[in-house]
């Protein structure tokens, strides 16, 4: 008999059954450690680690720097379905925003305490910010990451940084209290900013994107060389970004 009181089929494969039970554990909680998975399944830590690594390879879990595992993009719900649809829908809006601003635009999502860059349309200008598609950068150092972190409740924010913020370049938040202040300003402003925090010479603005149910799916970012992006222009780019986000959200709602 299993934990639910149901008889286990005689042909059940133990490894498959353990992987499925582990997925059920992940559906019940926000995060899990190897030791917790091992205890929940009644297996050795090494076995739990191999199961989590295999699930991670297929996108069912993602591992944080703190060695905590969280649900990955392959664990699909209706809310995540909009998230999966978004990159395809967003590309046209990235292109329009890049054409309008003549700057580089990105689509990003939150992956643990990092920002994953999913798509990009580069500026047509010779001096431009290059594509970061595929890269994972610390979320607290870039505009899109700040826009997404600002939408999290404090309990989730603290869970992302169990050991505090990593040391980094001057100008970045140095501890959780400093990050909270930055995120409070981000919420008041309605968008995140980055002036040389992720990379020297790069300025950017990022706004979160919501699905039809109000869930935050990701963020759009417009980035420019700091040399041609003084603060007034960054504000202007953020206003153009707001229009692009509203248009994208309208398209997602129409497609739901």
Is 79's pLDDT higher than 50?
Answer: no
Structure confidence at residue 94 as a pLDDT band (50, 70, 90): very high
pLDDT, position 26: 77
Is 83's pLDDT higher than 80?
Answer: no
Q: What is the pLDDT of residues 164-180, one digit of tens each?
A: 887 655 657 778 999 99
Q: What is the pLDDT of residues 1-45, one digit of tens each?
A: 344 444 545 544 778 888 888 888 876 676 788 998 888 888 999
**Residues 176, 158: contact at Cβ < 8 Å?**
yes
Q: What is the pLDDT of residues 213-249, one digit of tens each?
A: 888 999 999 999 999 999 999 999 999 999 999 999 9
Is 76's pLDDT higher than 60?
Answer: no
Separation CA 211–CA 249 (nearest Å): 6
Is 82's pLDDT higher than 70?
Answer: no
- Give the percent of the chain with pLDDT over 70: 85
157 Cα distance to chain centroid: 13
For the chain, domains (ranges, CATH) are: 14-71 (1.10.10.10), 78-254 (3.30.450.40)
Closest of 155, 97, 158, 89 to residue 123, by C-alpha: 97
How do strand 202-210 and strand 69-71 relate by DSSP bridges?
Answer: unpaired
Structure confidence at residue 58 as a pLDDT band (50, 70, 90): confident
Averaged pLDDT of the chain: 85
152 Cα distance to chain centroid: 11
pLDDT, position 3: 43
């Amino acid at each position: 008999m299993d934990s639910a009181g149901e008889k286990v089929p005689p042909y059940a494969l133990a490894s498959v059954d353990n992987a499925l039970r582990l997925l059920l554990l992940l559906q019940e909680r926000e995060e899990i450690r190897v030791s917790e998975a091992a205890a929940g399944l009644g297996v050795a830590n090494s076995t739990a680690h191999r199961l989590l690594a295999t699930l991670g390879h297929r996108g069912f879990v993602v591992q944080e720097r703190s060695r905590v595992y969280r649900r990955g993009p392959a664990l699909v719900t209706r809310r995540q379905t909009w998230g999966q649809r978004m990159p395809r829908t967003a590309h046209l809006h990235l292109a329009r925003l890049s054409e309008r601003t003549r700057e580089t635009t990105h689509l990003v999502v939150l992956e643990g305490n990092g920002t994953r860059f999913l798509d990009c349309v580069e500026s047509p200008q010779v001096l431009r910010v290059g594509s970061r598609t595929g890269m994972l950068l610390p979320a607290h150092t870039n505009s899109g990451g700040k826009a997404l972190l600002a939408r999290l409740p404090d309990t989730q924010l603290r869970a992302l940084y169990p050991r505090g913020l990593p040391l980094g370049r001057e100008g970045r938040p140095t501890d959780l209290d400093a990050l909270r202040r930055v995120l409070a300003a981000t919420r008041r402003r309605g968008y995140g900013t980055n002036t040389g925090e992720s990379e020297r010479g790069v300025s950017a603005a990022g706004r979160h994107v919501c699905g039809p149910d109000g869930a935050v799916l990701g963020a759009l970012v417009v980035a420019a060389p700091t040399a041609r992006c003084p603060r007034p222009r960054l504000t202007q780019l953020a206003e153009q970004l707001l229009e692009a986000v509203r248009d994208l959200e309208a398209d997602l709602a129409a497609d739901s």
